[in-house]
A and B are shown apart, each in its own frame.
Chain A
Amino acid sequence: MPIEIEKLNFIYAKDMPFEYTALKDIDLKLQDNKFYALIGKTGSGKSTLIQHLNALLIGSSGKIKVNNFEIYTDKKNKNLKNLRKEVGVVFQFSEQQLFEETVLKDVMFGPLNFKVSESEAKAKAIKYLKLVGIDEKLFEKSPFELSGGQKRKVAIAGILALEPQILVLDEPTAGLDPESAKEILEIFFSLNKTIILVTHDFDLVYSYADEVIFLDNGNLITKRETVDFFTDDELISKYQLELPSLLNFQNKLSEKGFSFTKKHKNLKDLIKEVIYE
Chain B
Amino acid sequence: MNIIEIKNLKFTYDNKEVILDDVSLEIKKGSYTTIIGHNGSGKSTLARLIAGLLDKSGGDIWVNGLLLKEENLKHIRKEIGIVFQNPDNQFIGSSVKDDIAFGLENKCINPKEMDDIIFKYASRVGMENFLDKEPHLLSGGQKQRVAIASVLAINPSIIIFDEATSMLDPKGKKEIKDLIKNLHKDSDKTIISITHDIEEAYHSDYIYVLNKGKIFKKGKPNEIFNNSKELNNIKLDVPFNVKIKEELEKNKIKIESYNSVEEIVENLCRLKLKN
Which residues of A are in contact with B by a Cβ distance under 8 Å? Answer: 41-43, 93, 147-150, 174-180, 200, 242, 245-246, 248-249, 252-253, 256-258, 267-268, 271-272, 274-275
Residue of B nearest to A271 (CB): B247
Q: Is B198 an interface residue (CB 8 A)?
A: yes
Task: Check B244 against A268 for contact (C-beta < 8 Å).
Answer: no
Q: Are B170 and A242 in contact (CB under 8 A)?
A: yes
State whether A178 and B40 are in contact (beta carbons under 8 Å apart), knowing that A248-B261, A249-B265 are contacts in the complex: no
Q: Is B237 an interface residue (CB 8 A)?
A: yes
A178-B196, A249-B265 known; A147 vs B240 contact (CB < 8 Å): no
Instruction: List chain B positions with a Cβ less than 8 A from chain A.
Output: 37-40, 85, 139-140, 163, 166-167, 169-172, 196, 198, 232, 235-237, 240, 243-244, 247-248, 250-251, 253, 261-262, 264-266, 268-269, 272
Across the interface, name the chain B residue whose C-beta is closest to A201: B170
Are B38 and A200 within 8 A (Cβ)?
Answer: no
Q: How far is the CA of A268 from the CA of B244 in the complex (A)?
A: 9
A179 touches B235 (CB 8 A): yes
A sample of 27 inter-chain contacts (CB < 8 A) reads A42-B172, A147-B39, A149-B39, A175-B85, A175-B163, A175-B167, A176-B39, A177-B196, A177-B236, A178-B196, A178-B198, A178-B235, A180-B235, A246-B240, A252-B262, A252-B265, A256-B265, A257-B269, A258-B272, A267-B243, A267-B244, A271-B244, A271-B248, A271-B250, A274-B268, A275-B248, A275-B253
A253 to B268, CA, bound (A): 9
B171 neighbours in A (Cβ, 8 Å): 41-42
CB pair A147–B235 under 8 Å, yes or no, is no
> Which A residue sits closest to B234, measured CB to CB?
A179
The complex places the Cα of A41 from the Cα of B173 at a distance, in Å, of: 13
A88 to B41, CA, bound (A): 31
Complex Cα spacing A245 to B260, Å: 11
- The answer to whether A178 touches B85, judged by C-beta atoms less than 8 angstroms apart, is no
Residues of B within 8 A of A267 (CB): 243-244, 247
Report the bound CA distance from A174 to B166 in whole Å.
7
- Known contacts A175-B167, A256-B269; 10 additional CB pairs below 8 A are A41-B171, A150-B39, A178-B236, A179-B232, A180-B39, A245-B240, A249-B264, A256-B268, A257-B272, A258-B272
Please tell me if the beta carbons of B198 and A177 are within 8 angstroms of each other in the complex: no
B40–A147 touching, CB < 8 Å: yes
Beyond A175-B163, A200-B169, is A268–B40 a contact (Cβ under 8 Å)? no
List residues of chain A with CB within 8 A of the CB of B272: 257-258
Write the nearest CB–CB distance from B179 to chain A, whole angstroms.
18
**Cα–Cα distance between A42 and B173 once the two chains are bound (Å):** 12
Which residue, B139, B198, B243, B250, has most C-beta atoms of chain A within 10 A? B243
